[in-house]
A and B are shown apart, each in its own frame.
Chain A
Amino acid sequence: MTTAPAAAPTDPMIRLERLTKTFPGQARPAVEALDMDIAAGEIVVLVGPSGCGKTTTMRLINRLIEPTSGRIFLEGDEVTKVNPDQLRRRIGYVIQQVGLFPHQTIADNIATVPRMLGWDEQRIRARVDELLALVGLEPATYRGRYPKHLSGGQRQRAGVARALSADPPVMLMDEPFGAIDPITRDRLQNEFLRLQETIRKTIIFVTHDIDEAIKMGDRLAILREGSKIAQYDTPERILSAPADDFVADFIGAGASLKRLNLSRVRDVELSDWPVASVDSSRAEVLAALRASDKGAVLLLDAERRPARWVSGRELQREDGPLSEMGLPPEALVQPNATLSDALNEMLKSRYGCATVIDGAGVYQGNLDFATVSAAIQEMRRDARDRSRAEADEVHAAGEAGA
């Protein structure tokens, strides 16, 4: 079978074909027959234990080291044999140690690739300022500084600006936030995700931290020794349906909790809690409560906004108007909240129940443990079904092609 890669618009931005690297004097390859397609505009995270070959894979892609065998395609063109220096100017590269040139100002550091590409100085200056602003470094303050005068987080921002300087379509980021304190790391991750919404680069992002991977990745490749793909899929599906024990172990015990970060309240079916109007009679409210298996009723005002929580006991023992009975509404969440946030609210609430309201405060439904649990089961089943369906498709396509 000799299918030349057709230059169709659906071509992946990066394609690796049986990419292999064996270092001299080593018995086992550091990267073994790696096949991978990376779609344009996605952040693909390579995640795996230390020493599994992530850095080697990155250095193979930008040809800092030459593969023992296999092929690399960039935007449909094979680049396994092109001039590596030219190739690297089309690929942004960010490493953990940043590697800013200590004897050059931040501006000169960022200008490295544009200078090599022969831009005129005016265009370079404008680009440097634009990039500094983009990564959150005030241009007037920072362009003339030397790297040693920057904090770790600022250096990493400058490193990202430098990698973006010539607007490369592809960025390789090797544990870019690995050496940064947790609080700054979280901020840099969020900023970078926001930045990516505007720049829409194709990014290969390496980390050994599964939580960072889940947060950053549109798609994760869980790698084992020899850069072999254990599973390559969206974070949701990897969390819901780990392909094997290695993946399950790597995700760790908190997989279900992690997945709650990926699902939103609007995606799940809300549960049936008894509701009544604050203007109803006590008997009507009691009837509503008895008709359900729950211990409390949510009273809504005239605009259907949550007004009070009242329990059966309170209804029977206390006097006074309904609008002053029981508790004020609590654990209010909006449909775009993550299930993790909702669960957090739920745990703090008296009835183990979060109340979903829309932007105007109008009651949408309730969310309780049973709902969340059911949602998790549902997601898991879905993911399995989809994986199976895809496997069948591939199988069918293989048979049709044979």
Chain B
Amino acid sequence: MVLAGPPEDQGGVDALSLVAGGTDIFRRSRGVLGLVGLPIALAAAVAVLFLWVGNKQLDSIEQRRVNPEFITNALAEHMALAFTSTILVILIAVPLGIILTRPGARAVMPPVITLANMGQAVPSIGVLVLLALVWDIGFWPAIVALVAYAILPVLRNTMVGLQQVDASVIEAGRGMGMTKGAVLREIELPLAVPVILAGVRTALVINVGTATLATFVNAGGLGDIINGGLVANKQTVIVVGSVLTAAVAMFIDHLGGIAESRLSPKGL
């Protein structure tokens, strides 16, 4: 899937950052309102949801899933899945991106990119079922599927971020006697940070969304609520699960946006 990125994006940045950039409208409207506007709106939506649910007579099937304990637990599982997988994605994709952009790695670059593309092209539900068949069900198989699915944006953004660093800046650094490692640490990586962070944010949002599928391999998460509602054909349960998932995804993306602007170096 190759879409054109939004114009303000760096050339070649994964199209999915288009999704991740969705809540920037709130953040870019300056000041405190920009920072807290979206969280307030989300909190209001969730409050409305619970008021609505609270005023309803829930039957026992509904009560099993729509209760504070179950929801808190599902939310915790969901976060654990999303954050663990994203951290693993960073730990794998950023070093890999660094290695692949070093001179001498030109030969191995195409196959690695193809592999990362495949990870994203194969539907994650397929990967999950496959892993369940050949390996196991539960938390770690779910994590593997999430990592495979979200590695591409971080890998690609790391590479793009490093490649777009002005060659003359590196030449000047080397010419002053900075070692290759120092140039990487003090020049290339800081200058690539905005692009890498955009990829990480994309991966995180993908993982928050995809983690709803973890329920199919018994790994919990908010998918438990949605799927339970679907199986029992309970509208209320489905609505609660879906709205919560959407609110969490948007909130995480919002936090990602804040982190992106805070962590990007000054002067760019």
Evaluate contact between B268 and A102: CB separation under 8 angstroms: yes
Interface residues on chain B, size class: 20 to 34
Name A93's contact: one of B170, B172, B265 (CB within 8 Å). Answer: B172
Q: Which of A99-114 contact B (CB under 8 A)?
A: 99-105, 112-113
Shortest Cβ gap from B211 to chain A (Å): 34
A147 within 8 A of B: yes
Query: In terms of DSSP, what is the predominant structure of the interface of chain B?
Result: helix
Q: A85-B179, A146-B266 are in contact. Are A102 and B174 (CB under 8 A)?
A: no
Cα distance A163–B171 in the bound complex, in angstroms: 13
A215 within 8 A of B: no
A237 within 8 A of B: no
Quick one: closest B residue to A149, CB to CB? Answer: B267
Evaluate contact between B267 and A93: CB separation under 8 angstroms: no
Evaluate contact between B169 and A93: CB separation under 8 angstroms: no
Cα distance A116–B178 in the bound complex, in angstroms: 8
Evaluate contact between B267 and A102: CB separation under 8 angstroms: yes
Evaluate contact between A99 and B177: CB separation under 8 angstroms: no
Evaluate contact between B176 and A103: CB separation under 8 angstroms: no
Q: Which of A185-202 contact B (CB under 8 A)?
A: none
What total count of A-B pairs have CB within 8 Å?
74
Chain A residues near B175 (CB, 8 Å)? 62, 64, 88, 93, 95, 99, 172
Interface residues on chain A, size class: 20 to 34
Chain A residues near B169 (CB, 8 Å)? 99-102
As a 0/1 sequence over residues 163 to 197 of chain B, the CB contacts with chain A under 8 angstroms (1 = contact) are 00010111111111111001000110011000000
Evaluate contact between A103 and B177: CB separation under 8 angstroms: no
Q: A64-B171, A93-B172 are in contact. Are A101 and B187 (CB under 8 A)?
A: yes
Name B177's contact: one of A95, A104, A116 (CB within 8 Å). Answer: A116
Name A88's contact: one of B168, B174, B190, B268 (CB within 8 Å). Answer: B174
A to B CB contacts below 8 Å, 19 in the list: A62-B175, A64-B171, A87-B177, A88-B176, A93-B176, A99-B173, A100-B169, A100-B172, A101-B173, A102-B191, A102-B268, A103-B187, A103-B266, A103-B268, A104-B267, A112-B173, A113-B177, A116-B176, A147-B267
Residues on B facing A (Cβ under 8 Å):
166, 168-179, 182, 186-187, 190-191, 265-268
